Amino acid sequence: MWKSFATALTFLTVIPVPFYSPGTVSPTTLARSFSFFPIVGLTLGLCCLAPALLLSPTMPPLLLAVSITAFMAGLTRALHLDGLADLADAAWGGYCPQRRLEIMKDSRTGAFGVIALVLVIFVKAAAIDAILRTGSLFPLVLAPVFSRWAMAATAYRSPYARPEGGLGKPFLEHMAATHLLTASLLTLIIALLVHPASLLIFTPLTAGSVVLLRFLSSRWLGGITGDVLGAVNELTEAVLLCAAASMAWQ
C-alpha cells in the first residue's frame, strides 16, 4: 500500500517521499497506484491552500491566483499540461487516429497545443481569483482531488491507443475494479470531510467530464494514452474551479 502511494506521489508530482526509491516498479504496483490518485490530489490541494491562506492578506487576489496556478504547474512538472497540449495538437491537427498518435509523439508543441495551454491556464487563474475573493477556499483543495479521481475513472477498462505501448500502458493493463473503488471511496471521504455539499456539484461535473473525454478520445485515437489522462485532469480541474467560482458569486 505504501509503495503504491509513494509511486503515485513521485510519478504525479515533484514532492519527495522519504525513504522511498522508485527503482523498477512492477506493472501491478503502477496499476494499484491509481487507488491513491485522490490522496495525491489532496496533497496538491493542501499545498495550494497554504499560500492562499498565508499570502491573501498581503497579495492582490489576481496576482495570488496566478502564483497558485504556476505553483501547481511546478508541483506537477507541468506533466498534465503537457498531455493537454499534445492532445489538442493531435485532435485538431490530424485527420485519422494513426496520424493523431504520430502528432502526439512529436516533442514540439503546435499552435493548437499553445492555444489550449493558454486558455486553460487563464481560465484556472481567473477562477481561482474569483474563489479567493469569496474567502471560501475549499475548491482549491477538492478540485485536484476530483480531477485525479477522473484520471482513474477514465483509465478503468479503457483500451490503450498505441499498439506498441507507451508510458501509460502499464497503468492501464493491470488496473482492476478494486483500484477504482478505492479511489472512489477516498474521494468520497475527503469530500465529506472538507465540504460535503460539494458532492452535489463536483460529482456530476466530474462524471460528465470523464464520459465526454473517454468518448472523444475513443473517436480521435481509438483509445486513451497517458497524454489523454493528463488532459482529463487539466480540463476537469478547470471545469470544477469555474463551477465553484460561479456558484460562489451567485
pLDDT in tens, 3-46: 889 999 999 999 988 877 666 678 788 889 999 999 999 999 99
C-beta of residue 1 within 8 angstroms of C-beta of residue 179: no
Mean pLDDT of 157-172: 79
The radius of gyration computed from the CA coordinates of the chain, to the nearest angstrom, equals 17
Domain extent listing, the chain: 2-249
Q: What is the pLDDT of residues 53-98, one digit of tens each?
A: 999 999 999 999 999 999 999 999 999 999 999 999 999 988 899 9
CB 159 within 8 A of CB 215: no
pTM check: above 0.85 = yes
**Per-residue model confidence (pLDDT) at position 70:** 97
Place of cell 498505441: 162
Question: How many beta carbons lie within 10 A of that of residue 212, not counting itself?
Answer: 12
**Least-confidence region, from 17-26, 149-158, 204-213:** 17-26
